[in-house]
Amino acid sequence: MTLLRKIIDWIDLRIGVREVVQKELTGYLLPRNINAWYSLGSILFFAFVLQVLSGILLLVYYVPDAEKAFKSVSFIMNEVPFGWLIRMFHAVGSNMMVLALLLHMLSVLFMGSYKRPRELNWLTGFILFIMVQGISLTGYLLPWSQLSFWATTVATNSANAIPVIGPYLVEFLRGGVLVGPPTLGRFFALHVAVIPIGIVALIGAHLFLLKRTGVSAPPFGQKETGNQWLGDSYHYENHPGGIPFFPHFALEDLRAIAIYMACFLAVLFFDPYLFFPKDAFIPANPFVTPSHIKPEWYFLANYQTLKIFPNELIGLSLQGAAMTFLALLPFVDRGPERHPLKRPLFMACSIGGLLLWIGLSIWGHFS
């Protein structure tokens, strides 16, 4: 221990590391009524790191070539020692990450944490949500299975409904008239380089904004649940007498991550093919469309919306409007009240919206 202390002393003398630890970790106080939902951000960060690591490992054997992609994935699954584990870790992990992301967004919504002065936190988070959807969609094509191929065909085809530029946009996305080898090249580049870089940059921005504004206090267990921010000048929201981030809340985060991992590994080991329909195990055949091609569970509501409306443009516009509304929510919902039970209109709309989304997803699953 003395050696460790000497090393820390040596570093501290040069860069004042103890001051940084005091300011950012032990002296960084969080509200006393903070709850477990606040750990979802840490879970997401951890899940993203796992996705990056397992993704890098898959790159060791995966070949992004239409002729070889499916074979290389089969090789990883069947021949490489523990290849199945790494691949399933990545595939199941992406679904778990989306689930955690949705829960994170719901907690922010219900606790009114998106309200001013945190509009930018919400916006960056919302863009991250779109990017995670993008990285999931592009990754879906890479195994070059029947499922990948046709799900991508349907997904990219929906852009056709956009007037004037629609058909060109579809061709541009695919790199050709139909989904084919050029699509794989594009989606691969987007999946392993472009979108991850964007996500990392946005996570940086999201955390920067969080540090500059300070953590919001949950509206529960307080007499005054309204927004205290006056909007006259920049103000860091500190929490005197609060809980230190390290070690107290870091341990809470660790416990939340452990629970997340337990759920994740339970799916991975006991029901690994939960998210894999049988078409995921058949190599892509551009001449045979399988029946009942469905997207991932988190796109089922979008899929069903497009099916309900006979005019694709209406379906697409409706989704676009809903997404825009959600993205701009902090600018629409400007009331100071943050407690969900004191916001009946918000509660009715959000629970209604959530039920609609779940209903559409179930309908999409069984349709």
Partner 1 sequence: MDNNGRRTFLGLCLAGLAALAAAAGGWPLFRYLSPRTNIESAAKVVIPAKDIPEGEAKFFEYAGSAAVLVRKRDGSLVALSAVCTHLGCIVQWQKEKQDFLCPCHAGHYSADGIVTAGPPPKPLPKVPFSVAGGTITVG
* Interacting residues with partner 1 (CB under 8 A): 57, 60, 79-83, 85-86
Q: How far is the CB of 270 from partner 1 (least distance, A)?
A: 17
Which residue number, 60 or 313, has a Cβ lying nearer to partner 1?
60
Which residue number, 77 or 314, has a Cβ lying nearer to partner 1?
77
Which residue number, 60 or 341, has a Cβ lying nearer to partner 1?
60
| Distance set, CA 4 to CA 1, 11, 20, 62, 108 (Å) | 5, 11, 18, 42, 40
Nearest to 59 by CA among 51, 146, 67: 51
Q: How far is the CB of 358 from partner 1 (least distance, A)?
A: 35
Which residue number, 85 or 293, has a Cβ lying nearer to partner 1?
85
Which residue number, 81 or 240, has a Cβ lying nearer to partner 1?
81
CA–CA gap between residue 155 and residue 333 (Å, rounded)? 32
Burial class (CB in 10 A: 0-12, 13-18, 19+), 248: middle
Q: How far is the CB of 21 from partner 1 (least distance, A)?
A: 20
Q: How far is the CB of 72 from partner 1 (least distance, A)?
A: 14
What interhelical angle do 300-308 and 312-327 show, nearest 10?
140
DSSP 193: I
Q: How far is the CB of 81 from partner 1 (least distance, A)?
A: 4
Q: How far is the CB of 13 from partner 1 (least distance, A)?
A: 28
| Residues contacting 56, CB < 8 A, separation 6+ | none
CA–CA gap between residue 31 and residue 147 (Å, rounded)? 47
360 pairs with which residues across the strands? Answer: none
Which residue number, 1 or 230, has a Cβ lying nearer to partner 1?
1
Dihedral of CA 179/180/186/188: which sign?
Answer: positive
Give the distance from CA 84 to its chain's centroid.
Answer: 23
Q: How far is the CB of 314 from partner 1 (least distance, A)?
A: 48
DSSP 145: B
Q: What is the SS3 string spanning 79-93?
A: CCCCHHHHHHHHHHH
29 pairs with which residues across the strands? Answer: 244
Tokens of 3: 């050696």
Q: How far is the CB of 261 from partner 1 (least distance, A)?
A: 10
Which residue number, 117 or 143, has a Cβ lying nearer to partner 1?
143
Which residue number, 57 or 108, has a Cβ lying nearer to partner 1?
57
